[in-house]
Amino acid sequence: MNQSVQTRTAGARNSTEEGLPLPMRRVAFIQSCWHKDIVDRCRDAFLLAMEEGGLNRDSIDLYEVPGAFEIPLLVKKLAASRHYDAVVASGFVVNGGIYRHEFVADAVISGLMRVQLDTDIPVLSAVLTPHHFHEHDAHQAFFAGHFEVKGREAAAACLAVMNPSYGEPVAR
């Protein structure tokens, strides 16, 4: 999927939870489209929590890929562009009755970690691999709610790693 990288908006203000100005920050959020209705819940919760945490919505670029297996390559391209202070990935890798889902989940998480270590750009994961998932109402509702929680958690982690004090000692 071709998407242009937006430039920073002049005059936009970002702040920490304490209301102190943050340097301009830019975040990329990538999501897979398998079970999109469920994964969208993560994106929506993430966006809301980021705004509540002080990052303007126009500082977050949204991307989609077909499935979770395609996430690491786009994460790599976006991190290497140096246009983003953090990249967040969200996807849903389910067991379709064969063992393949475990390989996909491992490849995705390993790829995300490698990108983070190779580029020094924080990469956060809300890629979930449930033990059991069936497409009936109870599981749909449970995982939709779970993705909302994971979206808020990803936002909290994202705000933390973009905070100017990240990596500083907490005590001496």
pLDDT digits (tens, 9 = 90+) for 92-120: 887 666 667 677 888 899 999 999 999 99
- CATH assignment at residue 73: 3.40.50.960
100 an active-site residue? yes
| Confidence (pTM) | 0.82
List 26, 57, 100, 114, catalytic entry: 100
Answer whether residue 13 is part of any domain.
no
Answer whether residue 155 is part of any domain.
yes
What is the pLDDT averaged over residues 36-61? 95
- Residues belonging to the binding site are 34, 68-70, 92-94, 125, 139
- Residues belonging to the binding site for 5-amino-6-(D-ribitylamino)uracil are 34, 68-70, 92-94, 125
pLDDT at site 21: 44
Q: How far is CA 118 from CA 22, 33, 48, 139, 149, in A?
A: 25, 26, 30, 37, 29
Answer whether residue 16 is part of any domain.
no
Rg (CA), the chain: 16
User: Which structural domain, as residue segments, surrounds residue 63?
Assistant: 24-162
- Residues belonging to the binding site for (2S)-2-hydroxy-3-oxobutyl phosphate are 139
Q: Higher confidence at residue 125 or residue 130? A: 125
Answer whether residue 59 is part of any domain.
yes
45, amino acid identity: A
Answer whether residue 168 is part of any domain.
no
Answer whether residue 15 is part of any domain.
no
